[in-house]
A and B are shown apart, each in its own frame.
Chain A
Amino acid sequence: MFLGFASWLHKTPISLALQHQVAWLWPACETLHFTGLALLLGVAGMFDLRLLGFMKRVPISVVKEFMPWALAGFTLNLLTGIIFIISEPAQYFGNPTWWAKVTFLIVAALNAMIFETAYGRRAAAIPAGEDTPIALKVIAGVSLVAWLGVLWAGRMLPFLGAGVGAGL
């Protein structure tokens, strides 16, 4: 089903336009994708470390002030990622490793939503010097593992499972 969608997408005007775009579009998007990665993991990683009990002298609400930059990195990567997918859909939909990446992304997103809705206010009220409850440490651990999983699967895309959907 997804491979049918991939070959349809590959023939759409927007995909064709991107495929025949200037030669530097793809490398430029890759560079931005790595920039967004550093921003996202740097800022979200710092927040997770605070939830795990590092940097206790800083209130969680203060660490959270940096989170718009994590969101900026994520948005950058979502946009450049969409450009990759539209340009070469089969390369992604046809690769099980890409689905692993999507799975890690969904875990990271659900985890962040659980944090925001169930613990956001409680976490923001934790003052400087105070440790976090175990639930928040679990959420932080899941977040770190999930984002590293996204990175792992993304970097493994050309090596692991590639070629399964090739030739579409």
Chain B
Amino acid sequence: MRSRYDWVIWTFFWGGLALTALFVGGPVLNAIWLSLHQASSFIAEPKFVGLGNYARVVQEPEFWSAMANGLIYALSAIVLQVVIGIAFAMVLNQPFFGQRLVRGLATLPYLLPTVVVALTFQWLADGSVGLLTVIARDLGLGTIPWFEQPATARASVILASVWLWTPFVTICVLAGLQSIPPALYEAAKVDGAGPVSIFFHVTLPQLKPVLTVVVLLRAIWMFNKFDVIWLLTKGGPLGATEHLPILAYKRAFSLFDVGGGAAVATVSFLILMAAVSTYLWMFPLEEKR
């Protein structure tokens, strides 16, 4: 029997599909089309070069170092965000005085615009007068070269990303923790399980659906993350924090190589598609019946 609300459902369905095609499919197809052409700017007449741009960019050492940097950045940031996010969520799930206030404060970094966070972090880590620099110096750790060395610059952008986006994981996991039936914990305790055992055999399995989605979203966002790295290091020093999105941007908007930039962006998109497909195959969002 047809519901009287069928037209609403179909309107939203086709509307959503049309918007997705326009705002997601359109740019993707345009990027792929551009990647098959050579053009020095977005107003230049593109010249068809087939797969020439792909052949060119994958031969350059910058491409492979950007790929490695992107993987290091994304994997490190995701692991730290998830581990710290779960830990915070478990603390915030316990009853204590001021719990609501602390829960609110814990989400604060996520509410701030990235540019504010990046500029704040830059000042905190300023080599001369930054608060973190001064504290480290007072603690006898010497002057920490936050952005001065390739390794520390990598660590610094990862640290900034973890600080910025861990609250997202915390909020999601906290919601997941609150949906776990208390009876499961009581039963585990009756069976003599300790806190560690309860965590690994009750909490974690119950959080699996939430974590599957959280890790997936974080992976997509971190692999494509542009703003925080660009604002903090612009990919330097010595290309240590230059990943594929920054390389694509630089090629298209600075190096007069729109086709090369589009090729890098398309390769990045394909890698992410493959990774997401593999992930969803390994961890399906719906339990098989």
Answer yes or no: are A and B bound together in one complex. no
